[in-house]
Amino acid sequence: MKLAKVSCAVLAALTAGAGLAQETSNKATIETIEVTATKRTESIQDVPVAVSALSGESLKNLGISGFQDYVEFLPNVTFQGTGPGQNEVYIRGAATNQTAITVSSVQALQPSVAIYLDEQPISMQGRNLDVYATDMQRVEVLPGPQGTLFGASSQAGTVRLITNKPDHTGFSAGVDVDFATTKGGDISNAVEAFMNFALTDDFALRVAAYTDHQGGWIDNVLSVPGQGGYIGSAVHIDRISGGVLTDPQNTPVDSPTNDELVEDDFNDATYAGARFSGSYIINDDWTLLVQHTEQKLETEGVFAYDPSYDGESSVSRYEPESNEDEFGLTTWTLEGRLKQLEVVYAGGYLDRKIDSTIDYIGYTNGGAFAAFYACSYGGAPEDEICHNPEGFYKESTENSRLTQELRVNTPADKDWRVTAGVFYDSLEVNSVGLFQLGAEDKFFDLNRTLNGGADGRYEGINSTGGNFGPLVSFVNDVTHELNQIALFGQIEYDLTDKLTLSLGARWYDAEDIYLGATTSSDVTEQIRALGQGGQALIDFFGEDEGNAMIAAIQSGQLDTSLLGGDGKLEVDDTIFRFSVDYKLTDYVLLFANYSEGFRPPVTARTGGQLARNQTAGSAFEGFRIPVYSTTDTLDNYELGMKGDFFDGLLRLNATAYYSEISDLQTSRFDPTNIAFFYFTDNVGEAEIKGLDADFTWLATDNLVISGALSLLDTEITRLNSTMVNLAPPVGSSLPYSADLSGNLRARYYHEFENGYEGFINAAIAYTGDRLSGMFANANIYEDTHHLVYGMGSGLEIENEIPAGTFQGVSYTDRNGNAFAGGRYVAQSYVLVNVSAGVTKDDWRAELYIDNLTDENAQLYIDEQQFTPKVVTNRPRTIGVRLSYDFY
């Protein structure tokens, strides 16, 4: 397989300057890529921003595949996520907690990194569109805010996948085959192919198709209640009747196990799809490109291991987990000229459907139900109940997104150049989620109805009504819309032949609309009542609570100023960008930039409600959920240099930057409900200092050495009062990012007789320690872990809040000891990849070994199941790639 998914394949470009050598006038030089990072086509070395790019050939030569493979070899790129189609990307340390994938469609932050397929933005909250990156022309990555040209969700960077377009010169085709085996795992295989037809002088068609089966390596192992599994572990076997589950009357019941689901290597993933492109030359000035991509992603199992089990590839689940993610994406681009103006009209429509079944362990381990996979504690031993661990969450989500952009460029050869345009974006997420805790456990009144329903029947915004059955305990049925319109522009002016100034700006108007209901609340009417205030609050919440909310609004505790009486949350603003660049020589460019990025606000599902925990002195005493999170912004200052030295034998690029984040958004557990749910909040401020550098060196005519380095220093500089003693203290680091990361790669190739060329590739990457999450909850999770398993997780914890002050009161663990506030530490790791192959004319064969040393890297520690799970890389994988091109 050449490449895998968009959400990660794109990130390979952050290894900038890693292109192969090319021959120019019989002299080897470093490949220079044309990019459109400023929405003009320019040489990457002439663009006065920290843009990185890799050509399609370079991507192929890297020989990496899959989301985690890309991240492993990219300094200063991190992710939060639990498997294919379930990841969020962060760049330059601008990371916070994202909502768990189980409810991301209901309540999640907008992404901080915008991902594009050609001209179409495809990033979404919690579930970035996971496009398989086949038949790529190049990948561009712009770290740092790109808000003026690329809008919302490009707060920390923008990634663009640029596909190969139809070629009007003639027929061509190609096929790539990949076969691999993973240590302790299943076999993987992939086939990719493309065909290009020049049907007439004016019309060309290109088709690319692929199928990629990625074999699993995580085992679902046996778990038996009362025998050291999730429930009844060694710590409390003696408190269960002979190791047997009991009902509320202490009568023995059948003890369910997951024996029917025990399976080795159960985390498979399969991508299958095709892209169709048609290009029509209307006349000498105008062309039309229409593309359609259709893809289906299917996964089974989970992609994280449980550190409680022996080895680093086992977990226990009681439900058959699966994820089906299908989409159709149609895009169109009309390009032409009106006298001296270049005109581009680009649009796209996305239709996506996701169906997921997820084990309910994260719910039954957490919040009010902590350790229900063990037993409910708090009373006399004879009154304790051990619960059925079986439970599921089923979600059906449909996404649609329509974007349109019209922009113009003035001629590039003038002293002054202007790019200006208008942008429209309409995103809608429709979701129905069904929750079930276990066949014998009913924690909700199933006769509770919504929107006038009766007899247990449900009528919602996305469902037609009907009884969901006795196993369904709770229902979410919501529609979340985000609509934007923006005007943007950038002007560049050459003061001299060497000095250029530029100014960019973007005005935007963003509208967030939240509609729907849950089993316990009509969310639509609740949000409208908050927007209307006064009597509407009393009518909806009742006199006492309504008056309390009115008082909270009047005192400034709750802000409703952006919310209309129709429930629409609307905000508008203008952001700016300034830059200056100086051409020191023909081969060295210096530049300085100031840029702004933003993420739009998000309406809260339970806005205005009071936290259940009103313990005096606790962090939640008097706490009410904000009605919405406000826009968070990132201001960025950077100095950079791009240069080719020693007659083009050495390329060195470096950028130093300083960023300030205001009104930092993060996802938090919802204290009005069980801890499985989330709301979005502005929690404080942070700053980021860093240095990115990369180089490419043509050591000889046959040896290319390249590398990249990232130094990063992140710091929380202010916390809101509601976050003190919950989040790590001021001065602590932001999550997920390492202080030091880097990689070094080498490619040696040699020409043999008869036209054969052999090559050897080697790469080594280092990633330092990273802290998990924005909240210091690790010791609470460890306590739950002890209740569930009878032992600790064995993961490292960095304590940042002294015992006795965490959460504002002296919360204690099962032994009566006060909790300290701390975060898990994902430990540093080193990864090595090697490959060797031979090419001749139009064919290529390669043998590769990924993860040569079989390193088990802690890529991400998932805390959203209330006992930690570790997302890791694929074990040592040995494979063969074969390709052939037809002309």
Share of the chain above pLDDT 90, in %: 46
Q: How does pLDDT run across 706-716, given as a tens digit for each residue?
A: 999 999 999 99
Mean pLDDT of 634-658: 93
CA distance 105 to 399: 9
Q: Tell me the domains of the chain and their CATH numbers.
A: 6-223+258-359+391-769+827-886 (2.40.170.20)
**Residue 848 · residue 841 · CB < 8 Å:** no
Highest mean pLDDT among 41-45, 245-249, 666-670: 666-670
Q: In terms of pLDDT, which residue wins out, 480 or 105?
A: 480
**What's residue 774's pLDDT?**
87
The answer on pLDDT for 509 being more than 80 is yes
Element (H, E) at 687: strand 684-698
For residue 611, give the nearest of 623, 599, 603, 602 by alpha carbon. 623
Q: How does pLDDT run across 597-608, given as a tens digit for each residue?
A: 988 888 888 888
Greatest Cα pair distance in the chain:
90
DSSP state of 313: S
**What's residue 614's pLDDT?**
77
Q: How does pLDDT run across 820-834, given as a tens digit for each residue?
A: 889 999 999 999 999
Q: In terms of pLDDT, which residue wins out, 597 or 229?
A: 597
**What's residue 20's pLDDT?**
47
Other Cβ atoms less than 10 A from the Cβ of 411: the count is 12
Query: 28-37, 344-353, 748-757, 835-844: which range is least confident on average?
Result: 28-37
Per-residue HEC secondary structure of 345-362 comes to EEEEEEEEEEEEEEECHH
CA distance 91 to 111: 11
Residue 857 buriedness (CB in 10 A; 0-12 / 13-18 / 19+)? buried
CA distance 481 to 876: 43
The answer on pLDDT for 200 being more than 90 is yes
For residue 239, give the nearest of 787, 822, 811 by alpha carbon. 787
Mean pLDDT of 721-746: 89
Q: In terms of pLDDT, which residue wins out, 860 or 453?
A: 860
CA distance 182 to 164: 31
Total number of residues shown for the chain: 887
Q: How does pLDDT run across 550-585, given as a tens digit for each residue?
A: 999 999 999 999 999 999 999 999 999 999 999 999
Q: In terms of pLDDT, which residue wins out, 539 or 780?
A: 539
- pLDDT band at 96, cuts 50/70/90? confident
Mean pLDDT of 684-696: 94
**What's residue 18's pLDDT?**
44
**What's residue 247's pLDDT?**
42
Other Cβ atoms less than 10 A from the Cβ of 381: the count is 11
**Residue 164 · residue 137 · CB < 8 Å:** yes
**What's residue 680's pLDDT?**
82
b/e code 341-365 from CB counts within 10 Å (16+ = b): ebbbbbbbbbebbbebbbbbbbbbb
Query: 164-173, 257-266, 653-662: which range is least confident on average?
Result: 257-266
Tell if the pTM clears 0.85, that is, is over it: yes
Q: How does pLDDT run across 463-488, given as a tens digit for each residue?
A: 765 556 656 777 888 888 999 999 99
Other Cβ atoms less than 10 A from the Cβ of 383: the count is 11
**What's residue 790's pLDDT?**
72
Element (H, E) at 34: strand 34-35
**What's residue 248's pLDDT?**
41
Sequence-ordered list of residues with C-beta below 8 angstroms from that of 641, at least 6 positions apart, any chain: 588, 589, 590, 591, 652, 653, 654, 655
The answer on pLDDT for 505 being more than 90 is yes
| Tokens (6 digits) for 153 | 């969700």
- pLDDT band at 241, cuts 50/70/90? very low
Other Cβ atoms less than 10 A from the Cβ of 100: the count is 25
CA distance 144 to 77: 12
- Strand-by-strand arrangement of the 113-117 sheet: 52-55, 136-143, 157-163, 113-117, 120-121
**Three-class SS state of 685:** strand
User: Mean pLDDT in the chain?
Assistant: 81
b/e code 235-251 from CB counts within 10 Å (16+ = b): bbeeebeeeebbeeeee
Name the residue with tokens 């009357």. Answer: 249
The answer on pLDDT for 442 being more than 50 is no
Helix (H) and strand (E) counts in the chain? 9, 47
**Residue 363 · residue 319 · CB < 8 Å:** no
The gap from C-alpha 47 to its chain's centroid, in whole angstroms, comes to 27
Share of the chain above pLDDT 70, in %: 78
Handedness of CA 259, 264, 265, 269 (dihedral sign): negative
- pLDDT band at 845, cuts 50/70/90? very high
**What's residue 81's pLDDT?**
76
Q: In terms of pLDDT, which residue wins out, 673 or 180?
A: 180
Mean pLDDT of 649-677: 82
The answer on pLDDT for 883 being more than 90 is yes
- pLDDT band at 71, cuts 50/70/90? low
Which backbone phi and psi does 514 adopt, to 5 degrees? -120, 120
The answer on pLDDT for 202 being more than 50 is yes
**What's residue 648's pLDDT?**
87
Q: How does pLDDT run across 718-733, given as a tens digit for each residue?
A: 998 878 878 889 999 9
**What's residue 94's pLDDT?**
87
In this structure, which amino acid lies at residue 726?
Answer: L
CA distance 387 to 360: 13
**What's residue 69's pLDDT?**
57
CA distance 431 to 582: 51
Q: How does pLDDT run across 781-809, given as a tens digit for each residue?
A: 888 777 777 778 899 999 998 887 766 55
Q: How does pLDDT run across 259-311, given as a tens digit for each residue?
A: 888 999 999 999 999 999 999 999 999 999 999 999 999 999 999 999 988 77
The answer on pLDDT for 143 being more than 70 is yes
**What's residue 834's pLDDT?**
93
| Tokens (6 digits) for 123 | 């990033």
- pLDDT band at 767, cuts 50/70/90? very high
Sequence-ordered list of residues with C-beta below 8 angstroms from that of 775, at least 6 positions apart, any chain: 97, 668, 669, 726, 727, 728, 823
Q: In terms of pLDDT, which residue wins out, 111 or 390?
A: 111
**What's residue 231's pLDDT?**
37
Mean pLDDT of 829-854: 93
Sequence-ordered list of residues with C-beta below 8 angstroms from that of 507, at least 6 positions apart, any chain: 486, 487, 488, 572, 573, 574
Q: In terms of pLDDT, which residue wins out, 224 or 165?
A: 165
